[in-house]
Structure formats: structure tokens, C-alpha cells
Amino acid sequence: MTGQFHYPDDRESASAAKVAALESLLVEKGVITSQTVDKVLSYFESEMTPLNGRKIVVKAWTDPDFAARVVVDTPAAIAELDLPEGMAGAEGEHLQAVANAPGVHNLVICTLCSCFPWPVLGLPPYWYKDPVFRSRAAREPRKVLSEIGLDLPADTEIKVWDSSGHSRWFVIPERPAGTEGFTDAELMELVTTESMMGVALAGKSS
């Protein structure tokens, strides 16, 4: 992510230091163990990753029937795929997909805090949590997208979806033109976390 919502390393380092201090205190007080922390981190590194979202997107690109189902009942459609068993929990029951289409672009934000579809996108990027991004993207999405490198045609409708504890939105981006002969593996390389958040197009990063 570049532009206005890129933060200097010292800010991220300060946050990392606070997290480390909190972890140390909780371990010292016996609330958690270091093994618990390692297990949680391993879970998000190996199970709840953007790879899950990429598989869903490619399935939607290559199977029109699935593409229709996944925006109606996202958890049921996802259950058809070979994804980690934990997808049904860890916020998986709240997943809701929206699909970009010619003339329609979707953007996912969270104005209240930083609710995020962890099972399909992993942990949220730092800038997603920033109050400036959250408030501006809700008020002036076209301008914000332009500032971070996504210039959409003036006649493209931008729909903003506000994630919450009840709905964790993610985007099925449009399939890039000229990819008809691509294998599933090649198509997956075109799907980025940013495109599944609506801040970039598939095949590109912001």
C-alpha cells in the first residue's frame, strides 16, 4: 500500500513493542502461556490466510454457478470448497462476498473499529485500522481510491460495505481480460489482498 495510508516503520515498531509488552505481562500473570501465543500465530500463518480468499475468487471466476451462490449465501458456498476446517468458525460464519462487475466497484471498510474477514484475507493491514482511512473512505471513496492509485471511470458506481461483528465483507474482483486460457494456479497469482478489499484491481496492487 502506498500513498497517504502508508505509515513509517517507527509507528509500526511502536505498536509491535506494545504488543510484545502486553504478551509478556499476560504470560507473567499466568493468563496465557507462550505456547498459546505461538499456536494462535501459527493458526493465522497457516490456516487463516489470503490463500483462502484467492481460491474462492478463482472458483467464482471459473464457475458461474458458484459465482452466483457465493454472493447469496457465502458460508454455504465456501463450505463446498477444499478449505481449512476452521473456516466455519473464527468469524467464518459472518463472511459475505460482494462481486465487482462492469460499472460497479465494491470497497470494504469498517467505520467502527477494524472488523475484517480473517478466514479469507488473514490479518488486516495496519492502514485499514486507521481512523482517517475509515472515515474518509466512507465519505469520499472515489477520492480516497484515486489517492492510493485506483482511478475508476467517472460512470463507475462505487459501493462501500461497512464490516461489523455481523458481516465481514470481502470482494470478488473482476477477472482481468485476456486470461481465458489461464490455469487456476495462474489466476490465483492475479488475486491480491488489496483486490479482495476493493482498493485495487485483480492483477494489480495499490
Q: What is the per-residue pLDDT across 100-159, written as a single tens digit (0 to 9) for each?
A: 999 999 999 999 887 888 889 988 888 998 999 999 999 999 999 999 999 999 999 999
Annotated binding site for Fe(3+): 110, 113-115
Nearest to 158 by CA among 171, 137, 142, 177: 142
pTM of the model: 0.77
Catalytic residue among 115, 163, 195, 206: 115
Cα–Cα distances (Å) from 124 to 39, 52, 78, 153, 170, in that order, read 19, 14, 20, 27, 12
Q: Which of 110, 163, 195, 206 is catalytic?
A: 110
Q: Residue 204 pLDDT more than 60?
A: yes
Q: What angle do CA 118, 102, 79 make, to 5 degrees?
A: 35
Give the number of other Cβ atoms within 10 Å of residue 10's Cβ. Answer: 8
pLDDT at 92 over 90: no
Binding residues: 110, 113-115
Q: What is the pLDDT of residue 88?
A: 54
Across 20-29, 65-74, 144-153, least confident range? 20-29
Active site residue 114: yes
Active site residue 46: no
Q: Is 146 marked active-site?
A: no
181, burial (CB in 10 Å: exposed 0-12, middle 13-18, buried 19+): exposed
Quickly state the pLDDT bin for 46 (edges 50, 70, 90). Answer: very low
List phi, psi (to 5°) of 9.
-60, -30
34 catalytic residue (yes or no): no
Q: Indicate which residue of 42, 113, 135, 146 is catalytic.
A: 113
